[in-house]
Amino acid sequence: MDLKKLVRDIKDFPKEGIVFKDITTILKDPEGLCSSIEQMQASLAGLEFDYIVGPESRGFIYGVPLAYNMRKGFLPVRKEGKLPYRTKSKSYTLEYGTATIEMHEDAISPGDRVVIVDDLLATGGTSRAMVELIEEMGGTVEKLVYLIELEFLEGRSILEGYAVDAVMKY
């Protein structure tokens, strides 16, 4: 299925100059939703890992169905102040601003093999911050999988050395 037909471009959201890739139009379409999950999952076939890590909020949309289908645990990464237990945090810049993400300090144990799942790779700031949190807790990042990659923002350059895959590229 050609999912690009279901992506809606929104100009100047959330800031002037940004072309926002709206995936709600994929999620609304039953075939689009199913195919987008399946195409991301195909990228993990045969890979051995323990957990899927996904960031709030769009990373949850794809991270949980992939974890469920592959019978893995899901570890949520949240914006600051949302997780109830003790946390480790990291601040970073993304395409349209800055943010701080957090994980529970006991989410990952040394030796855990992790896959990062998110809807979109732009500058890579969010993903780089997740990689650093995971590695500081002793985990290894086996792969990063996205539905969309904005290649012109060169997010892969700050993820050099890691396996990165995306279903759609712009």
Ligand X SMILES: O=P(O)(O)OC[C@H]1O[C@H](OP(=O)(O)OP(=O)(O)O)[C@H](O)[C@@H]1O
Residues marked as catalytic: 58, 95
The token duo for 151 is: 């290649």
Q: Is 7 in the site for ligand ADE (CB under 6 A)?
A: no
CB of 10 to ligand ADE, least distance (A): 8
41, 66 in Cβ contact below 8 A? Answer: yes
Give the Cα separation of 130 and 120 in Å (integer). Answer: 14
Backbone φ and ψ of 55, nearest 5°: -90, 145
The token duo for 57 is: 């909020």
Nearer to ligand X, 139 or 155 (CB): 155
Give the Cα separation of 92 and 113 in Å (integer). Answer: 23
Q: Report helix, strand or coil for 65.
A: helix
62, 36 in Cβ contact below 8 A? Answer: yes
Partner that binds at residue 21, options ligand X, ligand ADE, none, CB closer than 5 to 8 Å by kind: ligand ADE
Among 63, 76, 125, 139, binds ligand X (CB under 6 A): 125
Among 61, 107, 120, 129, binds ligand ADE (CB under 6 A): 120
Among 36, 43, 52, 55, binds ligand X (CB under 6 A): 55
Partner that binds at residue 99, options ligand X, ligand ADE, none, CB closer than 5 to 8 Å by kind: ligand X
Give the chain's largest Cα–Cα span. Answer: 43
- At CA 161, angle to CA 160 and CA 166, rounded to 5? 70
Nearer to ligand ADE, 49 or 96 (CB): 96
Nearer to ligand ADE, 95 or 102 (CB): 95
CB of 48 to ligand X, least distance (A): 25
Residues lying near ligand ADE in the complex (CB under 6 A) are found at: 18-21, 94-95, 120, 122, 150
